Homo-oligomer: A and B are copies of this chain.
Amino acid sequence: MASIKDVAAEAGVSVATVSRVLNDHPSVSDDARTRVLAAVEALDYRPNAVARSLRTDQTRTLGLVISDVLNPYFTELARSVEEEARALGYSVIIGNADERPELQDHHVRTLLDRRIDGLLLSPTDGGSPGILDAARAGTPMVFVDRWIPGLDVPVVRADGRAAIRDLVAHLYGLGHRRLAIIAGPAATTTGSERVAAFRDALAEYGIPLPDAYIGEGDFQAESGRRATEGFLDLPEPPEVVFAADNLMALGALDAVRARGLRVPEDLALAAFDDIRWFVHTDPPITAIAQPTPELGRAAVRALVDRIEGRVPESVTLPARLVVRRSCGETNPSPSPVRRSKS
């Protein structure tokens, strides 16, 4: 592969001049410029990003460590992150933590070894050594979706409290009184916050949230299945299960189906995170939708601000409730005019 020296030789100039042309430095004669450009063309030369990074101490690369690539929410996030980053002249390297702290740390270290310019993180746990070290070392960093309290790192996320309150109102209106939740790991902010918001919303209706109605999930489908099994085995099973992410909702569906039960007649279901398939499931699933692409874009902008010396800002965007049929027929009262159904 041709190097800058080859180009210099071919064009009959020094490597400095070639470099200047490539980085369009003003003080280069037209003559030299055209000769260099011709040489670049002739040799099919492409600058070696590795060498450039070593010298300039910047890679124009962002690291993104997400909790689970198989989760459509995160892949949508990853996509918008990459898109925005590309628009700003950065590449993105994605690390998949699979909800495992040690894998997360592996990726953080690998990314740091590659001297990425900044790190976008959706932490799997409450603060693994790798992340803490990186934060202390002053690595430009932004949390997205989940975060670690107590660190001076901007957070870009969706606030689901209002949407969860709307959801509980909807469920209450449908006559449900025994409501359960499949939580994420307590070590993640989204894991604990969604439970807290749910409990608070229930409290407004004087409904308690007993421990037996809190399933311990890990944001993976299998845990959703197990938690749902647990609920169904209870002497007094809940009427509704609210899964704190879409994969656990999938697991819940698996469990319900395995028992030959039906949604919403035997058990109603709602989920945090909306995905396209929820429109076509049997029945369509009521969900809380996050403005995922906006989150990704905002996170990249915050991180790049931090990298380029501006002051990054935390961003919180609202989530919203999308009602479908998985919690029971919608109350027709809001629009009493329309009679025709279907």
Contact = CB atoms under 8 A, between A and B. Distances in A.
A254 B279 contact: yes
Contacts of A280: 250, 253-254, 257, 277, 281-282
A40 B289 CA distance: 47
Contacts of A115: 48-50
A221 to B, nearest CB: 7
Interface residues of A, number: 47
Interface in A46-65: 46-51, 53-54, 59
A301 interface: no
A137 B1 CA distance: 9
A133 B2 CA distance: 14
Given A276-B221, A277-B277, A113 B46 contact: yes
Interface in A247-294: 250, 253-254, 257, 260, 276-277, 279-283
Interface string A111-130: 01111000000000000000
A76 interface: yes
Given A75-B69, A96-B79, A283 B282 contact: yes
Nearest to A109: B46
Given A113-B49, A115-B48, A250 B276 contact: yes
Chain A interface main SS type: helix
A185 interface: no
Nearest to A113: B49
A82 B70 contact: no
A78 B47 CA distance: 28
A76 B96 CA distance: 12
A203 B333 CA distance: 55
A233 interface: no
A152 interface: no
Given A1-B137, A86-B106, 6 more contacts: A50-B114, A54-B54, A93-B93, A94-B94, A257-B279, A282-B282
30 contacts: A44-B133, A46-B109, A46-B113, A47-B113, A48-B113, A49-B114, A49-B115, A50-B50, A50-B115, A54-B54, A70-B76, A72-B72, A86-B106, A91-B114, A93-B94, A221-B276, A250-B276, A250-B277, A250-B280, A253-B280, A254-B279, A254-B280, A257-B279, A277-B280, A277-B281, A280-B282, A281-B281, A281-B282, A282-B282, A282-B283
Interface of A: 1, 44, 46-51, 53-54, 59, 69-70, 72, 75-76, 78-79, 82, 86, 91, 93-94, 96, 106, 109-110, 112-115, 133, 137, 221, 250, 253-254, 257, 260, 276-277, 279-283, 342
Sort A-B residue pairs by CB-CB distance and give the 6 closest, nearest first: A282-B282, A277-B277, A49-B113, A49-B114, A253-B280, A280-B281
